[in-house]
Structure 1
Amino acid sequence: MTDLLQLLFAGLSQGAVYALVAIGFVAIFTVSGVINLAQGEFAALAGLVAISAVGSGLPLLAAVVLAVVSVALVAVIMERLVIFPVKRMTTLVSLILTLGVSTGLKALMLLVYGPNAEGLTPLTPGGFSVAGVSIRYQELWILLIAGIVSLAVYWFYERTLAGKSLRACAEQPVAARLVGISLTKASLISFLIAGTVGAIAGVLASPIFFTSWESGLTLGLKGFVAATLGGLISVRGAVLGGLLLGVLETLTAGYISTGLRDAVAFLLLIIVLVARPAGIFGRSAEARV
C-alpha cells in the first residue's frame, strides 16, 4: 500500500508539470488554431536560463522570475516573427512552422548551455515522510503552483470577458472581428500565456527531473498528449489529462517496467485519436481536431 501511495504522489507531481505544458497548447489552440510544437522548448529554455542565472550569482527567486519573463518574451517574439506574417494559417502550416522554431531553439540551447543535464536549486530543499511515503518539498511546490496557475488560466478563459473574447477568435473569427475583437492582439496574448505557463513548468520541474537542451522534446510530447485528452480546447481537460498521464506513467514504471514508461503517452495518444477524437475529457473539439 505504501508503494502505491508513493507512486501515486510521484505521478501527481509529475502530471502537474505535464498539465502546465498542456495548458500552453490549449491557450494557443483555442485562440488561433495553432498547435505549437515549441511548447516543450519553452519549459526547457526556462530551466536552463534559471540554472545559468543562479550559477552567475543571482538569487533563486530572481533567477526564476528572469527565466519566466525571458521565455514569455521569446514566445511573443515567436508569434510576431513566425505566426503573424502567415496570412492563411492551417494546422499543417502551424506544425511545420513551430517544428522549425522548436528545432532552432534546441540548437541554440545546445550551443549556449552545452549537452549536460542539470538541475535547478529547489525552492525548498529536503522533504519529509507521511505514513511511509517520502514527500519532497519541491513536489509540494509543483502541486501548489500548478494548481494556482491552472485555476488562474481557467478563470481567465471561462469567467472573464477578455478570456471569452480570446476564445471567440478561434470559434467565430468573423463574428469576433465584427464586434471589434482584434485577432492579432488575441494571438499575441495567447502566446504570452503559453510562454509563461511553459516557463513555470520548466523551472518547477528542473530541480527533480533535470533540464537539458533536449528535455523539451519529452515535456512537449507529454504536454501535447495531456492536452489531446482534453480535446485541445479545455483547460480543465488538459489538467486532468496531465495528472492522468503522470499517474499512469509512474504506475507502469513501478509495477511493469521502467522501459515502458514513455510508451504510455504514445499508447494514450493512439487510443484517443482513434476511439475519441474529442478527447476523454472533451466533447466539442471533435470537428476541429
Structure 2
Amino acid sequence: MADLLQFVVAGLAQGGAYALIAIGFVSIFAVSGVINLAQGEFAALAGLCAISAAGAGLPLLPALLVAVAVVAAVAIAIERLAIRPVRRMTTLTSIILTLGVSTALKAVMLLIWGPQGHTLRAFPGSDLTVAGVSIRAQELWILAACALVGGAVWWFYERTLHGKALRACSEQPVAARLIGISLTKASLVSFGIAGVTGAVAGVVTSPIYSSSWEIGLTLGLKGFVAATLGGLLSVRGAILGGILLGVLENLVAGYVATGLRDAVAFVVLIAILLARPGGLVKHTEARV
C-alpha cells in the first residue's frame, strides 16, 4: 500500500505540471482554434531563463518572475509575428506553423544554453513523510502552483467580463465583432495566458526534472494529451486530464516497466480519440 501511495503522490505532482501546460493549450484553442505545439517550449525556456537569472545573482523569487515575464513576452511575440499574419488559420495550419516555431525555439535554446541539462535550486520548504510516504517540498510547490494558476485562469474565463468576451470570440466570432470585441486582441491575450501557464510549469518543475533545450517536446506532447482528455475546451478538464495522466504514468512505471512511462500518454490519446473524440468532459461542459 505504501508503494501505491508513493506512486500516486509522485504522479499527482507530475500531473500538476502537465495540467499547467494543458491549460495553455486550452487557453489558446478555446479562443482562436489554434493548437500551439510550442507550448512545451515555453516551459523549457522559462526554466532555463530562471536558472540564468538566479545564476546572475538574483534571488529566487525575482528570478522566477523575470522568467515568467520573458516567456509571456515571447508568447505574445509569436502571436503577433507568426499567428496573426496568417489570414486563414485552420487547425492543420496552426499545427504546422507552431511546430516550426517550436523547432526555432529549440535551436535558440540549444545555441544559448548548450545541450546539457540545468537544474534550478529547490524552492524553500522541508520534505515530509506521511504514513510511510515521502513527499518532497517541491512536489507540494508544483501542486500549489497548479491549483493557484489553474484556479485563476478558470476564474478569469468563467467569472470576469473580459474572460467571457474571449470565449465569445471562439463560440460566436461574428457576433463578437458586431458588439465590438476585438478578435486580434483576444488572440493576443490567450497567447499571453498560455505563456504564463507554460512558464510556471517550467520553473516549478526545474528543481526536480531539470531544464534543457529538448525537454519541451515531451512536456508539450503530454500537455496536449492532458488537454485532449478534457476536450481541448475546458480548464477543469485539462487539470483533471493532467493529474490522471501523471498518476497513470507513475503507476505503469512502478508496476510494469519504467521504459513504458512515456508510452502511456500516447496510448491514452489513442484510446480517447477512439472512444470519446470529444474528450472525457461532456461537450455541454467543455468550456473554459
Task: Give the TM-score normalised by the residue count of structure 1.
Answer: 0.97
CA distance in 2, matches of 1:100, 1:239: 27
Match in the other structure for 2:274 = 274
- 2:144 is aligned with 1:148: no
The 1:188–1:41 alpha-carbon spacing in structure 2 relative to 1, beyond 3 Å, is: same
Distance apart, 1:282 and its partner CA:
3.7
TM-align CA RMSD = 1.1
2:77 corresponds to:
77
Q: TM-score, normalised by structure 2?
A: 0.97
Kindly indicate whether the alpha-carbon contact (under 8 Å) linking 1:279 and 1:285 is maintained by their aligned counterparts in 2: no
Q: CA deviation at 1:125?
A: 5.2
**Residue 108 of structure 1 corresponds to which residue in structure 2?**
108
C-alpha separation between the residues in 1 aligned to 2:281 and 2:47? 30
CA contact (8 A) 1:169 1:186 kept: yes
How many matched pairs?
A: 286
Task: Structure 1: state its 5+ residue gaps.
Answer: none
For residue 126 of structure 1, report the CA deviation from its aligned partner. Answer: 4.3
Structure 1 letter corresponding to 2:97: L
SS in 1 for 2:72: helix
Deviation at 1:284, TM superposition (A): 4.6
1:10-29 to structure 2, matched below 5 A, reads 10-29=10-29
What is aligned with 2:158? 158
Deviates more, 1:128-137 or 1:227-236: 128-137
Q: How many angstroms apart in 2 are the aligned matches of 1:149 and 1:33? A: 22
Instruction: State the match for 2:219 in structure 1.
Output: 219
What is the distance in 1 between the residues matched to 2:124 and 2:255?
Answer: 30
- In the TM superposition, 1:15-94 aligns within 5 A as 15-94=15-94
d(CA) in 2 for partners of 1:47, 1:116: 13
Q: What is the identity percentage for the equivalent residue pairs of Structure 1 and Structure 2?
A: 69
Measure the CA separation in 1 of the matches of 2:230 and 2:125: 34
Which has the higher mean CA deviation after the structures are superposed, 24-33 or 137-146? Answer: 137-146
**Which residue in 1 is equivalent to 2:8?**
8
- In the TM superposition, 1:161-180 aligns within 5 A as 161-180=161-180
Gapped regions of structure 2 (runs ≥ 5): none
Q: Which residue of 2 aligns with 1:249?
A: 249
Q: Distance in 1 between matches of 2:195 and 2:282?
A: 24
1:197 is matched with: 197
